[in-house]
């Protein structure tokens, strides 16, 4: 009396979930085969066989489930069912009504995609997506697109850095800065401040690291130029000037013209010489 209802329930459950139970058996079979293959040296061949059978059984169950779903949904075949699923349709009646229209639309999209791929390849684009972006802005070649992208990057950098124009942006790039404020500060650093030679003599220790422009009378002594006050006949407090960083042509002119005396303007940076007891000027340029 107790076993009969249980038997009926199991029978009904088995009939309704046959694919499920077959899948469970296949999964267990494959799992047991994997265990034998990995951990039981003497049963590896049998384990491999169980694993293969379980794998194919699971595939068969999946196909059967799909076929059952197609039949239950009223579809003519599994192929029709799969195609409808791709379009997001699960109702056979709705699929029958929209099938031709959706297929025509898909074919048109495929043809358009093929045409775009061919056009992108002819224009030298690496992808259809990039070609479509270029086409939206009226560009038909990859070389022009790269130039356009470069210009867009420059425009973005100009806007981000607060530059008033492209010229100032290029100047900033040459000086290694990224904002207009930094460019102005850098330019201020690069400006040579005009200083009288007597003021330079008095304040030279406070000017270390500053860029200056000073005029005087130069005399070349070996590899060092001594800059004196041109208003004095004999200036015993001349300022040493390093000229080793100047172009060869300039150093040659100093050698020929400044052995005794020459009137020059020196642009450079105030700094201490390695072998000198006082500060001097590292010359960047000599103006006659």
Q: Per-residue pLDDT tens for 135-183?
A: 888 888 888 888 888 888 899 999 998 999 888 888 888 888 889 898 8
Whether 233 is in a domain gets the answer yes
Whether 206 is in a domain gets the answer yes
Token pair belonging to 116: 């775009």
How confident is the model at residue 26, as a pLDDT? 60
How confident is the model at residue 1, as a pLDDT? 39
Q: Per-residue pLDDT tens for 218-245?
A: 999 888 899 999 888 888 888 999 998 8
The domain boundary, picked from 29, 46, 72, lies at: 72
265 near 225, Cβ under 8 Å?
Answer: no
Whether 224 is in a domain gets the answer yes
The domain boundary, picked from 32, 47, 72, lies at: 72
53 near 33, Cβ under 8 Å?
Answer: yes
List the chain residues with pLDDT less than 50. Answer: 1-16
Count of domains for the chain: 2
Whether 269 is in a domain gets the answer yes
How confident is the model at residue 68, as a pLDDT? 64
CATH number for the domain harbouring residue 280: 2.40.50.140
Q: What domain range includes position 256?
A: 193-287
79 near 99, Cβ under 8 Å?
Answer: no
The domain boundary, picked from 49, 72, 95, lies at: 72
Whether 198 is in a domain gets the answer yes
User: Phi/psi class of residue 209: alpha, beta or left (left: φ > 0; alpha: ψ in -120 to 50)?
Assistant: left
Whether 246 is in a domain gets the answer yes
pTM score, two decimals?
Answer: 0.42
Whether 55 is in a domain gets the answer yes
196 near 213, Cβ under 8 Å?
Answer: no
Whether 85 is in a domain gets the answer no
């Amino acid at each position: 009396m107790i076993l009969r209802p249980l038997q009926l329930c199991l029978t009904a459950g088995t009939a309704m979930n046959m694919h499920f139970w077959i899948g469970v058996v296949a999964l267990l079979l494959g799992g047991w085969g994997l265990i034998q293959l990995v951990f039981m040296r003497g049963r590896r061949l049998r384990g491999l066989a169980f694993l293969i059978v379980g794998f194919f059984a699971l595939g068969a169950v999946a196909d059967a489930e799909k076929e059952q779903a197609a039949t239950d949904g009223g579809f003519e075949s599994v192929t029709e069912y799969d195609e409808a699923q791709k379009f997001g349709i699960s109702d056979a009646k709705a699929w029958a009504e929209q099938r031709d229209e959706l297929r025509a639309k898909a074919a048109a999209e495929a043809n358009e995609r093929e045409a775009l791929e061919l056009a992108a390849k002819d224009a030298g684009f690496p992808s259809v997506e990039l070609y479509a972006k270029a086409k939206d802005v009226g560009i038909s070649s990859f070389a022009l697109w790269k130039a356009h992208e470069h210009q867009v990057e420059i425009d973005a950098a100009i806007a981000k850095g607060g530059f008033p124009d492209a010229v100032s942006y290029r100047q900033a790039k040459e000086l290694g800065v990224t904002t207009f404020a930094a460019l102005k500060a850098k330019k201020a650093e690069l400006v040579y401040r005009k200083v009288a030679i007597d003021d330079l003599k008095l304040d030279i220790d406070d000017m270390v690291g500053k860029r200056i422009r000073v005029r005087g009378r130069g005399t070349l002594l070996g590899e060092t130029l001594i800059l004196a006050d041109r208003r004095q006949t004999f200036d015993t407090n001349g300022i040493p000037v390093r000229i080793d960083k100047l172009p060869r042509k300039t150093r040659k002119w100093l050698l020929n013209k400044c052995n005794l005396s020459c009137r020059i303007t020196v642009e450079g940076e105030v700094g201490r010489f390695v072998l000198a007891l006082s500060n001097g000027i590292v010359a960047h340029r000599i103006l006659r």
